[in-house]
Structure 1
Amino acid sequence: MKPLITVVMAVFNGAELVRPAIASILQQTLEPFELLVVDDGSTDGSGDVIAEQVAAYPTGEGFSFRLVRHPANLGYGAVTNTGLQCAAGDWITFVDADDTIEPEYLERMLAAGRAHEAELVVPRMRAIDEAGHSTMMRQWMPQELVSTGADAMRRSVRGELVESQHVLIARSLWEQCASRTDNAYSDLIFLLQLFGQCRQVAYLDQSLYNYSIRSGSVTGSLRPSVWDLTRVHDYIRPVIKAVFEPDEAATLNRHFHLQMLWQLLQKAASEPTASQLRADVTSWVRRRIRVSDVVWLAKQRQVALAVSFALAKMSPEMHRKAYEGYTRLKHASA
C-alpha cells in the first residue's frame, strides 16, 4: 500500500536517545505511512537499535519501515537529500531522533494540508530543555490558517516563524528543491527555498511536535559550526530577489541580515562557560551592530532585537545577564 506520508528520521550515534522518538512515531493514528530512517554513519549501532524496536512493535498493514545507511557522517543536508530521493509517500516530514510527536500529529498535519490545498504545512512546536522545562515556541499564525509562500517567507525573514524542517511537504514541492550539504544550518536554507517555490502554506495551530533542546545539538551548544550562520544570507539573498520587488527585497534582506546577527548573539549569550569562541562570536557581532540598525529595528516594531543589540553594543556582560534573566522568567512562566 502506497504511504500517504514518509517520515524521515536522521540518526547519528543516537542509540541512547532514540527510543522515545520511535515509539511516538509508531503510535501515529494516520495510515498508511512509512518511516524512513537515515543512519548517518553511526558507530554505536543506532540503526540496528531502531530496526529492533520497530520489529518488536505490533503494527498493521498501514505502516512500513526502511533503513538507509550512509557510509560516513555526511551531515543533516545530505540526510535530507537522501530522504527526498528515497521517500515513497505523497508527502514528507522530518522528525529528529531526540524529539517526539503526539499520536495525531501526522493525521492533523495532512488534514490541514488537504483542507487548504496547500503544498506545505507549518505546525506550532513545543520546546523542551534538558531540565524538562516546556515552552511554546514563538510562531506567527495567520487568522485563516493559510497564507501564500511569499507571505510565509516574509514572516520567516522577520523572525516571526519557527525555522525548521519539521513541516509537511508535498511531493510536487520538494521535487523542485534540494538541501545544502555545506552548511550546518541547511534546514533554514531549505525551508526558505521551499517558501520561495510554494504557492500555498497551511498552518496547524496545535503544538503536537515536541522539540528537544540538548547541549550537544547544533542549536543547543556553541560550536565552531556557528560560523556557518554568517554564510546563510549568501544562499537566501537570491531567493528573496526572485520572489519580491526590489524595494521590498532590500528591506527583507536587511531584516534577514539582522536576524542572523541576532541568532549569533543569542547563541553566544546562551553559552554558560566563558571561552575564546564565545568571546570571538560576541566581538564579531558587536563590530557589525550599527546605531542606525537599532533605530531602524525599533521603527519596524522589532523592539526585542533593538533592545538586545543596544545592550550588546553597550556591554556584552550586561546583555548576557539580561538574556539569563529572560530565560529564567520564561521557564518560570512555562
Structure 2
Amino acid sequence: MSVTIGVVVPVYRVERYVAGCIASIGAQTLAPDRVILVDDRGGDASMQRALAAAKAAGLPVETLTQPENRGLSAARNAGLARLDTDLVWFCDSDDTVEPEFLQAMRDALLAADAQLAMCRTARVDEAGATLSIDEDAFDRATMSGAELARRLLLSEARGYACNKLFRRELLGDAPFPEGHVYEDVAPMLRIALATERVALVDAPLYRYLINENVHLPMLRSAHPRPLRSGRPCRAAAGGCRRLRGRRGGGLALGAPPLPLRRGDLPGGQHGAAGQAGRRQGTGRGGCRIRGACPDPMVGTPPAVARRRASAGDRRRRPDRQSVAVRPDPALALTVPDTPDG
C-alpha cells in the first residue's frame, strides 16, 4: 500500500509570492496526493493567483475559506482537519521548495521508520539568491525526539513546521494554538517529545523567503508571520531572538509570571523589557526595534521586579500600567536529559 501525502497551504496577503509557492509544489518529483489551500480572508488577490498557478502547474487543489481572518494557526488546523493522508506537510505560502523536497523527506522518513522528517532551511531573497542556511550540517541520518526537543530549547534547531513532514497521527486534531505568536514552538516541542525517531535530510530543501518590507505592517494582522530580519534582542526571560528567526529559540518555557509594561504593541500586549534589556546593550526596553517585538515572554526578571516592588519604583512612568503575563501552561515541558537516539 502506497503512502499518501497531504499539503496544507494557508493563504493570506501573499499575492506577490503565492504563485511561486504553488508552482514549486506542482514541480515536485513526488506529487502530493492532496493539496488544501486555506483562504484566510486577506482581502486581496492571493487566492485567485494561487488557483491560477495550480491550474498552470496541473496541480489539483481543494479550497477552504475561513469565515473570517483567524490567523495562521487556525488556518493550518482547518486544513489539517480536511486531510486523511498518511503524511502531512505545512507549506507557508510565500516560500518555495526544491523539486525533490517531498521525495527526499518521504524516503528518509520511511527508511528510518521515523514519525517525522526534517530538512535544512535556506534563507533566500526575492531574487531567489541564497542568503544563509539556518541549520548546521546534519552529521547523522536520525536523532531521537528528546534530542530534537533539547535542540529546540537551546535554539540549535528551528521550531518551524514548514521544513518538516509529519505522520498524521502525530499531529492530533488541532496542534497549533490560535491567537499566539511563536505559533510553532509549543506544538513542535510536544511533537518532539512524543516522537521516538526523527529522520534528517541534510540538504537545504526548504527555501524560506526573507522579505524586508512586510514585518511591521503585518504585526497588526492576525498572522504572526512578520519580523524575519533585524538584529537579535536578548532581553530577560531567555533572550528574544524573534528578529533573527521567525520561529523558535530563546523562550523561557515554564517561567514564573513576568511583570511587563503595557503600551508598545497594538492592543497593549507587551512593552519594554526593562533594565535587563538595557544591561544587554540592546537599547531602550531591550529590543532593537522599539515597540515591535511580539515575544510575550520578554520582561523584567522576577528578582528585579521584587526589589522594585519592595522599594517602590519611582522611575515608573505614571501612564504605563504594569501587568503580569503568565506563560501558556502548555509550554511548561520537561525535556529528558538522554543521549541522542
State the TM-score, normalizing by the size of structure 1. Answer: 0.66
In the alignment, the residues of structure 2 paired with residue 313 and residue 45 of structure 1 have an alpha-carbon distance, to the nearest angstrom, of: 39
In the alignment, the residues of structure 2 paired with residue 92 and residue 205 of structure 1 have an alpha-carbon distance, to the nearest angstrom, of: 20
Distance 1:119 1:43, change over 3 A: same
| C-alpha RMSD of the superposition | 3.7
**Of 290, 304, 312, which aligns to 2:282?**
312
**How far did 1:143 drift?**
2.6
Q: Is residue 146 of structure 1 aligned with residue 116 of structure 2?
A: no
Please, which moves more after superposition, 188-197 or 162-171?
A: 188-197
2:93 match: 97
**How far did 1:188 drift?**
2.1
1:232 match: none
The DSSP-based 3-state class of the residue aligned with 1:258 is coil
Q: Which has the higher helix share?
A: 1
**How far did 1:112 drift?**
1.0
2:273 match: 285
The DSSP-based 3-state class of the residue aligned with 1:92 is strand
The DSSP-based 3-state class of the residue aligned with 1:186 is coil
**How far did 1:286 drift?**
5.0
Q: Is residue 40 of structure 1 aligned with residue 35 of structure 2?
A: no
The DSSP-based 3-state class of the residue aligned with 1:178 is coil
Contact 1:265/1:281 (8 A) holds in 2: no
**How far did 1:129 drift?**
3.3
Distance 1:48 1:264, change over 3 A: closer
Contact 1:177/1:190 (8 A) holds in 2: no
In the alignment, the residues of structure 2 paired with residue 54 and residue 144 of structure 1 have an alpha-carbon distance, to the nearest angstrom, of: 36
State the TM-score, normalizing by the size of structure 2. Answer: 0.65
**How far did 1:120 drift?**
1.2
In the alignment, the residues of structure 2 paired with residue 146 and residue 33 of structure 1 have an alpha-carbon distance, to the nearest angstrom, of: 26
Contact 2:28/2:100 (8 A) holds in 1: yes
Please, which moves more after superposition, 43-52 or 99-108?
A: 43-52
In the alignment, the residues of structure 2 paired with residue 315 and residue 83 of structure 1 have an alpha-carbon distance, to the nearest angstrom, of: 38
2:177 match: 180
Distance 1:281 1:158, change over 3 A: farther
1:328 match: none
Q: Deviations over 1:182-225 (max 9, x none)?
A: 2022122222221122121111100111101223555x878478
**How far did 1:125 drift?**
0.5
Matching residue's letter, 1:28: Q
- The number of residues matched between the two structures is 260
Contact 2:4/2:32 (8 A) holds in 1: yes
In the alignment, the residues of structure 2 paired with residue 88 and residue 209 of structure 1 have an alpha-carbon distance, to the nearest angstrom, of: 24
Contact 2:7/2:34 (8 A) holds in 1: yes
**Of 197, 200, 204, which aligns to 1:203?**
200
**Of 189, 194, 213, which aligns to 1:192?**
189
1:306 match: none
Please, which moves more after superposition, 42-51 or 6-15?
A: 42-51
Segments of 4+ moved more than 4 angstroms: 130-133, 264-267, 280-283, 313-317
The DSSP-based 3-state class of the residue aligned with 1:285 is coil
In the alignment, the residues of structure 2 paired with residue 314 and residue 290 of structure 1 have an alpha-carbon distance, to the nearest angstrom, of: 6
Q: Deviations over 1:86-117 (max 9, x none)?
A: 12321111111111111111100111111111
**Of 165, 170, 180, which aligns to 2:167?**
170
The DSSP-based 3-state class of the residue aligned with 2:242 is helix
2:260 match: none
Matching residue's letter, 1:181: E
Q: Is residue 263 of structure 1 aligned with residue 251 of structure 2?
A: no
- Structure 1 unaligned segments of length 5 or more: list them: 229-255, 268-275, 292-308, 321-334
The DSSP-based 3-state class of the residue aligned with 1:211 is strand
- Structure 2 unaligned segments of length 5 or more: list them: 225-235, 247-262, 290-341
In the alignment, the residues of structure 2 paired with residue 146 and residue 3 of structure 1 have an alpha-carbon distance, to the nearest angstrom, of: 20
Q: Is residue 24 of structure 1 aligned with residue 24 of structure 2?
A: yes
2:103 match: 107
**How far did 1:44 drift?**
2.0
1:75 match: 71
Contact 1:265/1:285 (8 A) holds in 2: no
In the alignment, the residues of structure 2 paired with residue 19 and residue 83 of structure 1 have an alpha-carbon distance, to the nearest angstrom, of: 19
Matching residue's letter, 2:276: R
In the alignment, the residues of structure 2 paired with residue 112 and residue 152 of structure 1 have an alpha-carbon distance, to the nearest angstrom, of: 16
Q: Deviations over 1:235-257 (max 9, x none)?
A: xxxxxxxxxxxxxxxxxxxxx94
